[in-house]
Amino acid sequence: MRNGDQVLLIEDNPGDADLTRLRLVEANADIQVKCVDRLSAALPCLEEKPALILLDLNLPDSRGAATYRSILDNAPGIPVVILSGQDDEALASKALHHGAQDYLVKGSFNAKDLDRAMRYAIERQALLRAVEISQKQQLEFKNQFLSHVSHELRTPLTCIHQYVTLLLDGLIGPISTEQGDHLKTVLKSVNQLHAMIRDLLEATRAESGKIRVEPRCVSLRELVQQAAAMLKPTAEAKKIGLEIAVDQRAPLVHADPDRALEVLINLLDNAIKFTPETGSVVVKAFMVETDPDWVYISVSDTGVGITPESKNLIFERLFQDPNASDSSRNGLGLGLFISREIVRLHGGRIWVTSEPGSGSTFTFTLPVYSLAKLLSPIAIYENRMRPSFVLVRVDLTPFSNPALGNWKETWQQALEIVRRCVYLDKDLVLPPMGNEHTSETFFIVAATDLQRSGIMMKRIREQLERVDAKAKHRLTVSALAIDLPSEQAGSSTQLQVQGLAARVTELVIAGVERRQVARQITD
């Protein structure tokens, strides 16, 4: 260690603390030693970034594994040497597997042993850090390379696609039936390459944490029906039956509709791909009584099944079942990896149950849309219901149909602006409704009255108009007082929040229906 480095000694036994201090001075008289006797006193000291931590596992306010986990969580880059008693040696050894660099048994080490342990701990931590930086740089380089290559490949593939399509459509001149068949094979291969490149880019984004989800309040039944309709021609071509079964009790879900649809299509496409002719595929959406906060969606097939070894790796990047037939391998093995990342970003889980020769069932979960749960933090203050609420509505409608530019990017930017214009402890911007692409309506539940809500409305209008200087869309901001049921005034706060959620739901649905009618009249 260098002169002047600070060592944080966390030890509650005065005798052991004095002995360790003495050994530190003997090893290096210029080392600064700061000693604390509790975990709660140690955590603020970590902000000073000591060069090393000497840690006793058993403290008055923390014991055993919980002690080093807390230190490692709060100081991931600082080397730690455990000071253990004779009876804690097994636990100290276990701590090495969780991030500690070394351990010493109290009363049995001298200054030389302590100096060696500290030097090695610092060197090991520096080596781990260098390896971590190197791996991160390699991953970044690999992702940049894959992204660059993928983008470069898109241009010639698009050119090939366009010219093959022109030939097939007879726009350049007549072609024979045999030539047409060959061109269709070329087109199929081009489309397959496009899909591979798309998956490669998505997987690269997933690995670097760049996949985004924009949750909305959506109908799961509509998503399942849409996915089934898109894959129905593929299933019919193989004479495979495709059925859907959505539980009538299945509520709305809080999910990104495009991303959730991507997962469903991936699972359905795989199910059809690995199911022989005349087989069947079933999509189900259902509730589980023991897990009411989640909706379960499963895709079952009567295909070849998956071996136990492959089940453990099926969601890994680039994995392909070695037992699958060559005709089924028309991708890079990225679909399930991407699906897992999308489900994870929603807070859900995805898993598979399968037996070789008996088909497979892939199941994933999406969160239930619970307005009461979202409203609770802003509706209750000091264990009491706030006195008044207002529903603020922001309508965004493009002047042209279809909208000029990237409409999705436009409304996402507008939504971010709206979220920055509210008070997080008093207002809630509701997740957008449905899967609109022609207009957007944002709703805000504000814990205030109509008069004060005018300040927020003015701020929202000014911010949105400032961004949309060229006036590409029509902007309307309005507000409506939320009248709560009087009979719930004396009930529990939980029931009052549920009543507020029910009333907000009524107003939002009515507002969405009015918007749809107005759009139909305009169209």
Mean pLDDT per 10-residue interval, the chain, length 523 residues: 76 87 79 86 87 86 81 84 73 67 81 84 83 74 67 77 85 86 84 73 70 85 90 91 88 89 92 91 93 94 87 78 54 78 93 89 93 90 90 85 70 88 90 70 91 91 77 83 75 88 84 51 40
Residue with tokens 């939002």: 508
CB 53 within 8 A of CB 79: yes
75: in domain: yes
CATH of the domain at 456: 3.30.70.360
In a domain, 280, yes or no: yes
Q: Say which CATH number the domain at 339 has.
A: 3.30.565.10
| Beta bridge partners of residue 445, listed in sequence order | 391, 428
β 427-429/350-354 pair status = unpaired
Which amino acid is present at 282? V
Beta pairing partners, 474 = 397
Q: What is the pTM of this model?
A: 0.60
Angle at 67 between CA 65 and CA 68, to 5 degrees: 75
Dist CA 1 CA 7 (whole Å) = 10
Does residue 330 share a domain with residue 269?
Answer: yes
- Supply the angle between the helices 335-345 and 257-273 in degrees, to the nearest 10: 150
Angle between helices 220-237 and 257-273 (to 10 degrees): 30
Domain that holds residue 251: 217-367
Q: What is the largest CA-CA distance in the chain?
A: 97
Positive or negative torsion for Cα 452, 458, 461, 466: negative
- 50: domain CATH number is 3.40.50.2300
Rounded-to-integer distance, Cα 438 and Cα 435, Å: 10
- Cα(96)–Cα(80) distance, integer angstroms: 9
Cβ–Cβ < 8 Å for 468, 379 = no
Determine, yes or no, domain membership for 126: no
Please, are residues 34 and 8 in contact by the beta-carbon 8 Å criterion? yes
Q: Which residues pair with 95 in a beta bridge?
A: none
Last residue of a domain, one of 62, 88, 109: 109
Pair (40, 143) in one structural domain: no
CA 335 to chain centre: 16
Both 337 and 466 in a single domain?
Answer: no
Task: Say if residue 345 is in the same domain as residue 293.
Answer: yes
Residue 119 in domain: no
Q: Tell which of 181, 207, 233 closes a domain.
A: 207
- Residues 84 and 199 grouped into a single domain: no
Instruction: Look at residue 243 in the predicted model and tell me its pLDDT.
Output: 94
Same domain, yes or no: 17 and 69: yes
Q: Is residue 1 part of a domain?
A: no
Q: Are residues 384 and 474 in the same domain?
A: yes
Q: Where are the alpha helices (DSSP H) in 13-107?
A: 14-27, 39-45, 65-74, 89-96
Q: What is d(CA 146, CA 197) in angstroms, rounded to the nearest whole number?
A: 9
Q: Which of 11, 51, 15 is nearest to 31 (CA)?
A: 51
Q: Specify whether 419 is located in the same domain as 494.
A: yes
Q: At what angle do helices 407-420 and 450-467 cross, to 10 degrees?
A: 140
454 in the same domain as 473: yes
| Rounded Cα–Cα distance for residues 208 and 129 (Å) | 19
Residues 511 and 460 both lie in one domain: yes
Look at residue 125 and tell me if it is in a domain. Answer: no
Same domain, 361 and 420: no
Reported as half-sphere exposure (CB side, CA atoms, 13 A), residue 313 has a value of 11
**In the prediction, which pLDDT does 142 show?**
65
The answer to whether position 445 is within a domain reads yes
Nearest C-alpha neighbor of 434 from the set 347, 519, 523, 341: 519
How many domains does the chain divide into?
4
Under 8 Å between Cβ of 290 and 251: no
In-domain check, residue 120? no
Q: Are residues 272 and 332 in the same domain?
A: yes
- What contacts 24+ positions apart, CB below 8 Å, involve 141-149? 143/204, 143/207, 143/208, 146/200, 146/201, 146/204, 147/201, 147/204
Cα separation of 444 and 415, whole Å? 11
Looking at 207, 233, 267, the residue that finishes a domain is: 207
Nearest to 347 by CA among 319, 375, 366: 366
Q: To which H or E segment does residue 210 belong? A: none
